[in-house]
Structures are given as C-alpha cells and as structure tokens.
Amino acid sequence: MAAKIAIINTSTRPVRVGPSVTAFVKELLEKADSSANITTVDVADFNLPVFDEPVAPAMVPAMAQFTKDHSKAWSAEIAKYDAYIIVANEYNFGMSGSTKNAIDFLYNEWIGKPIYIVTYGIMGATNASEQLKAVLTGMKLKVVETRPNLGFHGAQAGPDMYGAIKGELGEASKKDWETEKKEELVKGFTELKELLASPPKAEAVA
C-alpha cells in the first residue's frame, strides 16, 4: 500500500491564493509519480483559533487529552498520514500566523515523520522556509533538504502579485514554475519518499 501523504495548505485568509498554489504543486507531483497517494488538507477547514487548550500538545495523548472539537479534529487528521508536504505562504518577511498556530496545536501526531517544505510569496518566501525548517526540525520531524521557493512572475512589479492578492494564481507564474521549478519540486518529493523508507524514531512523550 502506498504511503499516505498530506499536502497541507496553511493559508487561511478569506481571499487567498494558497489553494491554487497547493493544487498546482499536487498536480505536478502526481504527474511525476502516478502512484503517489497525496491528499489535500486545508488548515482553514478546521477553524483553528489562537491556541486555546488547557494542556500542552506534547502531553497528548499519553498524559492528557484535548478538550476542544477543533483541536481533536486537527490532531486526528494530521495523525492519519505517513508524511507531509507543507505549502506555506510568506507575509511581511516571515511565515504567517495561521501556519505557526496550526503547527502549535501538534506534536506527537507527526513527530519523527518526514515533511517537505514548499513556500511561496512575492519574492519566493525564503524567510518563511528557513523559519519552518527551524521549527519543524526542533519538533523532531525529518525535514527534506530540498525546499523550493515559488515567487510570483514579475515579483513586486508584475500583475501576478496583484492577482495573488485577489486570490488568483497567474498563468505566467504557473508557466515559470513548470519550466524553472519542476525539477526542484520533483527532487524534493523524491527525497520525501526516501525519508519514508526510514521508519520514524519513537520519541513521543510517554
């Protein structure tokens, strides 16, 4: 049975380009590997507030339990998968609050599992990528070495930036990514699958 891989869209703004970027990455990877079992997970569907549980995530489930339905649903969803592709946006030179908040609800659900970071933004989101690497490595996930950054065509001067603000992914950006980023995106996915071949270490809180 193929490993179950979640591709997580972390953008939650009412008007957002994140779902389109996530769909682009998913389609490209599935074309490169028709056997891939990738499921889209959208953080916005879980309506997560700023962390509001009375227990620390690292205590769940061995020492405590979540009390809120949104926490239970998010935890159960993430725990279902063997590996992850996180597609994260960059706002104001860093990862978005929704990305960090979603991560802060988790620990034992994905500790030791492989995760592949793909970021996007006006300039390609290198700051968000570095921040995510530090956070996820600290949480004991196995972070894929290759971390593509997807910048919009024309950067700050291009119409695709303004389209992204309105929730539209421009054709020029997609063409750029298909020609200039495809090899890197597929390389990172190959590395993710290689990490899947190594079983996760049992380091969860007991």
Token pair belonging to 19: 């779902």
Residue 202 resides in a domain: no
Residue 79 resides in a domain: yes
pTM: predicted TM-score of the whole model, two decimal places: 0.94
Range of the domain at 191: 5-197
Q: How many residues does the chain have?
A: 206
Residue 206 resides in a domain: no
**DSSP-based three-state secondary structure for 203:** coil
Structural domain total, the chain: 1
Token pair belonging to 36: 């891939």
Distances (CA, A) of 9 to 19, 70, 165: 6, 17, 16
8 A C-beta contact, residue 40 and residue 85: no
CA distance 14 to 18: 11
**Is a pLDDT exceeding 70 seen at residue 204?**
no
pLDDT digits (tens, 9 = 90+) for 107-147: 999 999 999 999 999 877 999 999 999 999 999 999 999 99
pLDDT at residue 199, as a whole number: 67
Residue 17 resides in a domain: yes
CATH number at residue 28: 3.40.50.360
Residue 204 resides in a domain: no
CA distance 128 to 148: 11
Residue 203 resides in a domain: no
Task: State the chain's mean pLDDT as an integer.
Answer: 94
Q: At what angle do helices 126-138 and 97-104 cross, to 10 degrees?
A: 10
8 A C-beta contact, residue 143 and residue 103: no
pLDDT digits (tens, 9 = 90+) for 22-47: 999 999 999 999 999 999 999 999 99
pLDDT at residue 35, as a whole number: 92
Residue 71 resides in a domain: yes
Name the band, by pLDDT with cuts 50, 70 and 90, for residue 64. Answer: very high
Token pair belonging to 182: 């495809």
Residue 205 resides in a domain: no
Of 58-62, 108-112, 202-206, least confident by mean pLDDT is 202-206
**Is a pLDDT exceeding 70 seen at residue 190?**
yes
Token pair belonging to 112: 């030791």
